């Protein structure tokens, strides 16, 4: 309880400009704001672990819009909403009148009359996902200014073409819990590396989110990928600048082995070649199915040249004292389990299964923290009230 109260004191004392703002890209947030999200997530986790009712809303909708498939983010969003007292309402474009020619601006308002949060996943089109969310956010701002909406729902990016902040912040909460504190991460070496997968078209948002966030913490971030698998150049440049400003480093290497050497943390994960994602976006827009299939074949053939980018026990042995922490956003392509050969061998994955699941378990709290911070001017007061009233979550 002492730990929880200290956490709440820290939250109450911190000045941020999170309220009334969306959570779209971690690099739009200040360091204290990121710390606030982490502290709020941890406080909510502790409250729930003490079986305390965490609801801050008596009613209100949390709207989700998944423009791509999702299990864990979908359940994390639903869990976060439920934790705060909000009801999930999914915007299923197939069942809506959006195809009917309705503008995004209009849809954004129509779903928001009684909404406190809108979570959006839009990661299929390079150069479009973030823009979509920004357009929703602008429409909501306009509607609030015009007196059309009684409240401004906070927009939470559940993965776009640029960033995956609920993932990277959950990863960071996991690291804080594993290493003891945010400060303890300073000087740690994190290897964000490409890995082979017999699939194609995986978004770039996870590696971009990781290098875009972890370079702000004084870590030594290493990015590795085969030639042609680069990320959005602006975000790579951003990572470099941030590392410099925050006393860490950002380097790029061309093999998994170089990246893993003495790493404290490794994050081997497949993604699509940047150029392919760009061409894919054009083909998707043109609904060119034959073109998409041809591109897929080409890309799979290209991938196949890099089958040796696999996270193995031998590689893990080269990490710091052979004890590097393995991260993955899941689901992983596990060799011999979910595919013939993939991102990681079964022994490595099995050894890290529990920490991986704990990593995934951070996401509901991180999303709840983003919603709470975006909607409540003084979350410290809210948390103190939850502690004071001390209502049990479950009876009996």
Q: Does 154 bind its own copies (CB under 8 A)?
A: no
Q: Does 114 bind its own copies (CB under 8 A)?
A: yes
Question: In the complex with its own copies, which residue's Cβ is closer, 230 or 361?
Answer: 361
Interface characters, 341-370, with its own copies (x: CB under 8 A): ------------xx--xx-xx--x------
Q: Is the backbone peptide bond immediately before 67 cis, with ω within 30 degrees of 0?
A: no
Question: In the complex with its own copies, which residue's Cβ is closer, 11 or 38?
Answer: 11
Sign of dihedral through CA atoms 162, 164, 165, 169? negative
3-class DSSP state for residue 175? Answer: helix
| Residues in region 81-110 near its own copies by CB under 8 A | 82-83, 85, 87-89, 91, 95-98, 100-103, 106-107, 109-110
Distance CA 36, CA 14 (A): 7
64-72, 130-138, 258-266, 287-295 -> range binding its own copies (CB under 8 A): 64-72
Sign of dihedral through CA atoms 52, 56, 59, 61? negative
77-85, 177-185, 215-223, 305-313 -> range binding its own copies (CB under 8 A): 77-85
**In the complex, minimum distance from the CB of residue 202 to its own copies, in angstroms, rounded to a whole number:** 10
Candidates 4, 111, 214, 256; binder of its own copies (CB under 8 A) is 111
Total residues contacting its own copies by CB under 8 A comes to: 81
1-9, 147-155, 239-247, 317-325 -> range binding its own copies (CB under 8 A): 147-155
Distance CA 328, CA 338 (A): 15
3-class DSSP state for residue 348? Answer: helix
Q: Does 382 bind its own copies (CB under 8 A)?
A: yes
**What does the block give as tokens for 47?**
């409250």
| Residues in region 32-51 near its own copies by CB under 8 A | 48-49
Q: Is residue 79 exposed (0-12), middle (13-18) or buried (19+ Cβ within 10 Å)?
A: middle
| Residues in region 177-216 near its own copies by CB under 8 A | 199
Burial 381-393 (b: 16+ CB within 10 A, else e): ebbbebbeeeeee
- Residues ≥6 apart with Cβ < 8 Å to 216: 26, 27, 31, 34, 242, 246
- Residues ≥6 apart with Cβ < 8 Å to 146: none
Report the 10 Å Cβ neighbour count for 187: 14
**In the complex, minimum distance from the CB of residue 89 to its own copies, in angstroms, rounded to a whole number:** 5
Q: Does 74 bind its own copies (CB under 8 A)?
A: yes
Question: In the complex with its own copies, which residue's Cβ is closer, 147 or 233?
Answer: 147
Interface characters, 116-145, with its own copies (x: CB under 8 A): x--------------------------x--
Q: Does 15 bind its own copies (CB under 8 A)?
A: no
**What does the block give as tokens for 342?**
């993939």
Q: Does 147 bind its own copies (CB under 8 A)?
A: yes
Q: If you search the block for the tokens 């986790």, which residue do you land on?
A: 45
Q: Does 311 bind its own copies (CB under 8 A)?
A: no
Distance CA 285, CA 262 (A): 43
Q: Does 294 bind its own copies (CB under 8 A)?
A: no
């Amino acid at each position: 309880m002492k730990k929880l109260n200290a956490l709440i004191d820290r939250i109450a004392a911190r000045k941020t400009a999170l309220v009334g703002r969306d959570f779209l890209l971690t690099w739009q947030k200040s360091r204290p704001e990121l710390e606030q999200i982490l502290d709020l997530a941890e406080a909510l986790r502790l409250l729930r672990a003490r079986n305390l009712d965490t609801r801050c809303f008596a009613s209100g909708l949390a709207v989700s819009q998944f423009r791509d498939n999702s299990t864990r983010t979908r359940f994390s969003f639903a869990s976060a909403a439920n934790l705060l007292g909000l009801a999930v309402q999914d915007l299923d474009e197939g069942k809506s009148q959006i195809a009917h020619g309705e503008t995004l601006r209009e849809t954004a308002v129509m779903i928001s009359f009684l909404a406190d949060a809108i979570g959006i996943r839009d990661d299929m089109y390079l150069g479009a996902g973030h823009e979509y969310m920004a357009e929703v956010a602008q429409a909501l701002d306009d509607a609030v200014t015009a007196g059309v909406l009684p409240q401004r729902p906070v927009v939470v990016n559940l993965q776009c073409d640029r960033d995956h902040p609920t993932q990277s912040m959950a990863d960071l909460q996991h690291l804080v819990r594993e290493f003891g504190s945010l400060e303890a991460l300073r000087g740690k070496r994190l290897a964000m590396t490409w890995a082979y997968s017999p699939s194609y078209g995986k978004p770039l948002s996870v590696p971009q989110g990781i290098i875009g966030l972890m370079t702000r913490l004084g870590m030594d971030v290493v990015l590795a990928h085969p030639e042609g698998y680069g990320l959005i150049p602006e975000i790579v440049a951003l990572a470099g600048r941030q590392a410099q400003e925050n006393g860490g480093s950002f380097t790029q290497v061309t093999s998994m082995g170089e990246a893993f050497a003495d790493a404290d943390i490794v994050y081997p994960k497949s993604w699509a070649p940047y150029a392919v994602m760009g061409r894919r976006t054009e083909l998707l827009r043109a609904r060119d199915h034959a073109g998409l299939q041809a591109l897929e074949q080409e890309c799979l053939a290209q991938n196949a040249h890099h089958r040796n980018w696999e996270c193995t026990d031998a590689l893990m042995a080269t990490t710091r004292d052979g004890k590097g922490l393995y991260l993955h956003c899941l689901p992983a392509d596990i060799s011999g389990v979910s595919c013939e050969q993939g991102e990681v061998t079964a022994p490595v994955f099995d050894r890290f299964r529990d920490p991986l699941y704990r990593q995934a378990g951070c996401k509901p709290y991180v999303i709840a923290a983003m919603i709470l911070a975006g909607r409540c001017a003084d979350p410290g007061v809210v948390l103190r009230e939850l502690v004071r009233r001390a209502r049990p979550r479950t009876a009996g």
